[in-house]
Structures are given as C-alpha cells and as structure tokens.
Amino acid sequence: MLTKRIIPCLDVTLDRAGGCVVKGVEFVDLKEAGDPVELAKRYNEDGADELVFLDITASAHGRETMIDVIERTADEVFIPLTVGGGISSIDAIRQILRAGADKVSVNTSAVKNPDFIKESSDIFGAQCIVTAIDCRRNTDVKNNPEKTILELEDGTPAWYEVVVYGGREATGIDAVQWARRAEELGSGEILLTSMDRDGTCAGYDLPITRKLSEELDIPIIASGGVGNPQHIYEGFSEGKADAALAASIFHFSEYSVREVKEYLREREIPVRL
C-alpha cells in the first residue's frame, strides 16, 4: 500500500526581506508566520514528505515567482519541493526547476489557457506538473443543471466553482469537470483547496475531496482547513486523498509533522516515519 504524504505549505508574499510566510482565512487577513527558508529547514528535519511553496500574490500582482527565495529554500531541503504562483510560461517553469524545485503548480494560467498544462507536461513530464484548483461551494443548482452536483454534509446540494487570482475572481467553471480535463491534458497531480475551509481550522472539505479522489486516477492533495491531526485522518479515511497539505498547525507549532504521523500510524494510516 502506498504511504500517505504529509505536506507543509509555505504561502509566501514578497516583502523587504525578500519573502515572508503568511497564513490567512479564505486567502485574506494574512498573518506573518516566519522566514520561508527557516521553516522549510524545520519541516525537512521533522520528517515532512514534501513541501509546497506558493507565491500567493504573484498572479494577482502580475509578477513572476521569487526565484531567489526558491534557490535558498532548495539549498536547505532534501525532500521534493513544489513551487507555484504566477507561473504562466514554459520559460518560467524552466527557471523554477533550475532553481531547485522538483514540481511546479499551475493555477490561474492553466484555467485561462488549458493547453498550457499539455504543453508543459509534454516538455517536462507529467510528474513535474501539479494543477492547483481553488474552489468555492455554490448552492445555485437550479440555474446550473450541467454542473456536477454534490451533497454537502447537511444534505444541501451544491456544485464547486473554480476561482482564480488567489480567490479574487469566480470563473463559472465546475471544479470536478476542470479536474478531469486537467488530468486528460497531462497533469500529474491535483492540489485541491476549498476556499470555504481555508484557514478556518474546521477540517477539509470532504465532499469535493472524496469526489475527485474517486473520479481521477492521479493523486489528489487535500488542502484547506486543517486544525488538528483528526482532520488529516479524515482527509485520508473519508476524503480518500493521497496527500494532506497543512499550514497553520505546523507554522505556529501547534503540532509537529512527526506528531501528526504518529497519530495517523496509530489509526492504521500508512505513513513514512
């Protein structure tokens, strides 16, 4: 049985020092959490399986991802590093991989130009291309009969709408249908973030996580809402995710990666310790 991956996420914004890890609620009200390089070192030593580095304001500000911070981070960690944020060209992917990243995460640029997934996958390989999908629940099912309707925890029917530019713009695109297309175009993984849960510490959005995990053959990384190890356990046991991404519980030292893995192992979730 494949082991489940625990992935700390470094949401980074540009500041005078060159980069600062932040955490907010639904992508706003950002709170500083520390230096990305120092946090990356800590997680590497603590047994994280991978790291995700997201330059969360690059797309909205129309700038490229911070190459220098990636280089410094890659020099300090010896686990796979995925980088995302403002990536919209083959040249940008090439620069980021040369800077030391193992994978790139594409989001807004892929929604705007789906063929970008195919082009980048053909050049660099599907194993290097992660499609990040940010989505929100939309309960307007009457006017959206062509969408993939799921049942929420309380029985309410809803579909999940893809949002871009760090959650600032709704697209009208169905998240399940978009995930299927991303897989067909050559994406090697899906990084799924529920905007409704981001930073809330209320647990993963299990209906959409489970749906994608069951529908797709590529790995699903659950993201958004972790407040304790039980939430990660539920992401694996109920959401059927292949990997669990978390930020706040690790950044602010509420739990260590090792503590989470020991909790999961006690509940018979296969993890690498």
Residue boundaries of the structural domains of the chain: 5-266
| Tens-digit pLDDT profile for residues 207-261 | 999 999 999 999 999 999 999 999 999 999 999 999 999 988 998 789 999 999 9
| pLDDT per residue as tens digits for the range 177-197 | 999 999 999 999 999 999 999
Which residue do the tokens 């981001």 mark? 198
- Residues 132-185 have pLDDT tens digits of 999 999 999 999 999 999 999 999 999 999 999 878 899 999 999 999 999 999
At 101, which amino acid appears?
A
CA distance 93 to 113: 15
Question: Does the structure show a pLDDT above 90 at 13?
Answer: no
Rounded to whole angstroms, how far apart are CA atoms 234 and 72? 34
Continuous H helices in 216-253: 229-237, 248-251
Nearest to 129 by CA among 102, 157, 98, 100: 102
Tell me, which fold does domain 5-266 have in CATH? TIM Barrel (3.20.20)
Q: What is the pLDDT of residues 105-131, one digit of tens each?
A: 999 999 999 999 999 999 999 999 999
Burial class of residue 170 in the structure, from the number of CB atoms within 10 Å of its CB (0-12 exposed, 13-18 middle, 19+ buried): middle
The pLDDT of residue 16 is: 44
Supply 264's token pair. Answer: 């999961």
SS3 209: helix
Q: pLDDT tier at 25 (50, 70, 90 boundaries)?
A: very low
| Whole-structure pTM value | 0.91
Q: Say which of 11, 49, 198, 205 is annotated catalytic.
A: 11
Residue 11 falls in the annotated catalytic set = yes
Tokens standing for residue 21: 């890890």
Is the confidence at residue 198, as pLDDT, over 90?
no
Is 49 a known active-site residue?
no
Q: Out of 134, 174, 205, 242, which one is annotated catalytic?
A: 134
